[in-house]
A = this chain, B = another copy of it.
Amino acid sequence: MNCPICQAQNEEILWQNEDLRIIVVNEDANVPAFCRVIWQSHQAEMTDLNETQRAVLMNAVYHTETAMREVLRPTKINLASLGNVVPHLHWHVIARFDCDAYFPAPIWANAQRENTLRLPENWTEQVKNILAQKLV
């Protein structure tokens, strides 16, 4: 199977186990506070998982949200599982700020302004430390 999420390399991994991994996403300089929770197994939809698996995945999403809120104090968290391009289950967890390039539109809309957001340089390290304490 030729899935870029199955075959991903050089990801900045914040936490992982056999079920899932949590990475930092640096695909768009206008979206500087972006994590992704990826189900390790190649499944497309939440309802392709059983109830326990869904709960495990969402627990990781919630802990990621909590850690990003604690470290970054964003205006809003955006959660999304889309997967139209790569139908391998993954959750976008995005900290949004009213000064960010797209706010209040979704990050998939056209940018409305230059990004003036400056985050603490070590925010990913702080999130990683929180996840290490909270997830087992």
Known contacts A58-B54, A105-B108; A78/B82 CB under 8 A: yes
Known contacts A54-B62, A62-B46, A108-B106; A84/B96 CB under 8 A: yes
Closest B residue to A100 by CB, please name it: B84
Interface string of A96-133 (1 = CB under 8 A from B): 10000001111011100000000000000000000000
Tell whether, in the assembled complex, residue A44 and residue B76 are in contact, meaning their CB atoms are under 8 Å apart: yes
Interface residues of A in 25-48 (CB under 8 A from B): 44-47
Known contacts A58-B58, A65-B47; A78/B81 CB under 8 A: yes
Q: What's the minimum C-beta distance from A48 to chain B, rounded to whole angstroms?
A: 10
Q: Is A71 an interface residue (CB 8 A)?
A: no
Q: Is A55 an interface residue (CB 8 A)?
A: yes
Q: Is A21 an interface residue (CB 8 A)?
A: no
Q: Among the listed B45, B55, B77, which residue makes an inter-chain contact with A77, where contact means beta carbons less than 8 Å apart?
A: B45
Q: What's the minimum C-beta distance from A47 to chain B, rounded to whole angstroms?
A: 5
What is the bound-complex CA distance between A62 and B50, given in angstroms?
A: 11
Binding site for B on A (CB under 8 A): 44-47, 54-55, 58, 61-62, 65-66, 69, 75-85, 87, 96, 103-106, 108-110
* Nearest 3 pairs of A and B residues by beta carbon: A84-B104, A106-B108, A80-B80
